[in-house]
Every structure is written in structure tokens, then in C-alpha cells.
Amino acid sequence: MSFDLSQLGWDDTFTSSYRPYDRPDTVPGRVLRADRGISTVLTAGGVTRASLGGNALLEAARDPALLPCAGDWVVLRNWPDRRVTLELVLPRRTRLIRRTADKDASGQVLAANMDTVAVVEPIFPEPNDARVERLLALAWESGADPVLVLTKSDTVRDPEAVARQLAALAPDVPVIPVSVQRGAGLDRLRELVAPGRTLALLGRSGAGKSTLANALAGTAVMPVQAIRDADGKGRHTTAWRNLITVPGGGCVVDTPGIRGVGLLDTGSGLDRAFADVIELADRCRFDNCRHESEPGCAVQSALADGLLPPRRLASWRKLHREVAVESRRRSVRLATAPRRRHN
Ligand SMILES: Nc1nc2c(ncn2[C@@H]2O[C@H](COP(=O)(O)OP(=O)(O)OP(=O)(O)O)[C@@H](O)[C@H]2O)c(=O)[nH]1
Ligand SMILES: [Zn+2]
């Protein structure tokens, strides 16, 4: 079986970053799935499993964020004894990265080289505003274009009304209600997995990511569990990151259902996710306005006029504090990292 890599998003930029490694015993490929030390990679010649080569191991020791993840374009090396090693992760164009719970200074890369990140939130039970805002900040930070997908739209009477409400939390982001059960809203998502394009799905466990990935790929490629619990939360099923190819199209990356995602020091993602607040803040009289009781504060006056919901401002402040704490922590960790290694 042979695959046209350009259908998967291989282009001139990746071709030129690959060129220095192009040898008779190397091939480029895209990571479908990364398990501990073993990656499943799609090459023009088919699917291969590869272990981490020496160079990839060194890179990962330096920075765990450089471990291969679903969506990565990589250099594979074929050895005479038929072993295949993953030698290098080519520079990522975009990457979804979240803070890890451990003491590691670098984050965990959930998916790479996607064109679009869909924040997937179920319409029932009621969407969680704070989670949507947080995931959108992460999506913006990835460098890809975010969309907000409201799943299970068949479970409410007026999904468009819910979409309109959530649009207020998602400046510059298309909001797309979908129902896999009814096949509603899927056309707009199909455009995002056209040939050469990659869509990553980001959302909590039970949000309906796997169901959506299956619907887009047109096959049941992932285990989807039935609703067993009354609260509609579903159970945790997807424990890995998986890239799925869409027949006649591009790719979908399903990320694991995440309970809480910590933001890294993602100032820019946060600013994009809260473009409405930033736009107001830009109009304050003082550049260093804290938007509390300063004269000429455009944020406070929008609050007073009911143009900016207080919840939205509180949410922005909370995420900002979190990012500030995290970047301080990160700089301390980075400063002490070499010493810790000798413990
Ligand atoms: N009514 C309805 N239920 C849906 C729809 N899409 C998904 N579900 C249900 O929602 C539950 C969770 O769906 P999954 O696709 O497993 O969710 P997930 O986000 O992949 O969850 P993890 O694998 O844990 O990350 C399942 O019981 C699905 O059947 C839909 O369009 N309508
Ligand atoms: Zn102000």
C-alpha cells in the first residue's frame, strides 16, 4: 500500500526541513500514535513501528517536549537488521501543549502540525464556560486556528441559542453545533479535514471526541463507550493520542480526554482568547491600568454599561494569575534543573 504524503499535510516546508536527513536508508513519515518509546508512523510505504533512535533519545533527555507525538513529521531510519528507528522530529509548525502535573519544566505535547484545533464541548450537560475559555486559550497558543464544536446538539431543543451564548466567550472563533447521531453540522468539520489538512480535537473525557473522529473518518477506529453514568459524563476511554486519516481527505488527531488542563506561560494564547477584554484594555487612559478604579478605565466602564459580563473579566484575571504563577515556577525550575539532575 502506498500513501500520498501530501494528502496528510506534507509540503514544501517539511520537505526542506527533511532534506538534510535525506539518505538512502531514511524516509519521512507522520506519527499516528506515540506510546512509550514506540511510535506508529505512516510513511509513503505504509504503517511502521519505530523505536526511538539515539539522536531522538538525546533530544528528549534535553527537553521531553521533543518526544514524538501524534501529528509529528519525523525522520525514520531503516537498519540492515530490519529495525526501524525514529531519528528526529522535524520542527513543528503548530503544537498543542499543556502543563504537566509533575515537576517537569516543559509541558506535554498533545498533538502537532494541525491546521485547526477544535475545542470540543458537549451541549449537554450544560457547557462549562470556564473550561471553554481555558481550552480556547490553549488552542490559540498552539498556533493553529481554533473552532468551538458543541457536540450532542440533538440533546437540546435550540442548539443555535446555546451557540450564540458561547460565541460571547469565543471572540473570532467559529462556533459549530454538531450531532453525530443526527449527522448535523458535520459538513463544516469535513472542510477542516480536506486533503492536506489536519484537525485536532481537544476536550474533556466524554465530550464526544472519539465519536466525532469516527464520524469524520467514516469508520469505527476507536473504542467509544456507551453512556453508563446518569450525569452523561461518560468514562475515560481514550488513553492515547491518535492520528486518524480521513479517506479522501486529511487527518484528525484525537487527544486524550483531559480532566484539567494547565496553561503554560501562554500569554499570547490568553490574549487571543480574551480579545474582547484586551480590546477594551487598550482603550484605558493609562497603559498600566489595572482595571480596578483608575480614571478612564474602559474595562470598568464596559462593566458598568453591562457590555462586559463580570464573569468574563474574573475569568481573564484568574487565567492571567495562573499563567504568571506558572511562568515564575518555570523559570525557577529551569534555573535549578541542572542541579536537580545530580540528586
Ligand atoms: N446523543 C448524542 N450522544 C453522543 C453524540 N456524540 C457522542 N455521544 C455520546 O457521548 C459519549 C462520549 O463520547 P466519546 O466519543 O466516547 O467521548 P470522548 O470525548 O472521546 O471521551 P474520551 O475518550 O474519554 O476522551 C458516548 O456515550 C457517545 O455515544 C451525539 O451526537 N449525540
Ligand atoms: Zn483599565
Q: What is the pLDDT of residues 160-206, one digit of tens each?
A: 999 999 999 999 999 999 999 999 999 999 999 999 999 999 999 89
What per-residue confidence (pLDDT) applies to 323?
84
Nearest to 107 by CA among 152, 70, 67, 80: 67
Architecture of domain 5-91: Beta Barrel (2.40)
Architecture of domain 96-254: 3-Layer(aba) Sandwich (3.40)
Higher-confidence residue of 333 and 98: namely 98
Q: How far is the CA of 209 from the centre of ligand 1 (A)?
A: 6
Question: Which is the CATH superfamily of the domain at 267-341?
Answer: Probable gtpase engc; domain 3 (1.10.40.50)
Protein residue with least CA distance to atom 25, ligand 1: 257
Residue 229: which pLDDT band, with cuts at 50, 70 and 90? very low
Domain limits, the chain: 5-91, 96-254, 267-341
Is the pLDDT confidence value at 24 over 60? yes
Please check whether residue 198 is in contact with residue 141, taking contact to mean a CB–CB distance below 8 angstroms. no
What per-residue confidence (pLDDT) applies to 266?
64
Is the pLDDT confidence value at 234 over 60? no
Q: How far is the CA of 127 from the centre of ligand 1 (A)?
A: 14
What per-residue confidence (pLDDT) applies to 105?
57
- What mean pLDDT is predicted for residues 236-249? 70
Q: How far is the CA of 171 from the centre of ligand 2 (A)?
A: 20
State the pTM of this model: 0.88
One-character DSSP codes across 171-215:
TT--EEE-BTTTTBSHHHHHHTTSTT-EEEEE--TTSSHHHHHHH
Strand segments (E) across the chain: 26-34, 38-43, 46-52, 73-78, 84-89, 95-98, 108-112, 116-122, 145-151, 175-177, 198-202, 242-245, 251-254
Q: In ligand 1, which atom is closest to the CA atom of 227?
A: 27
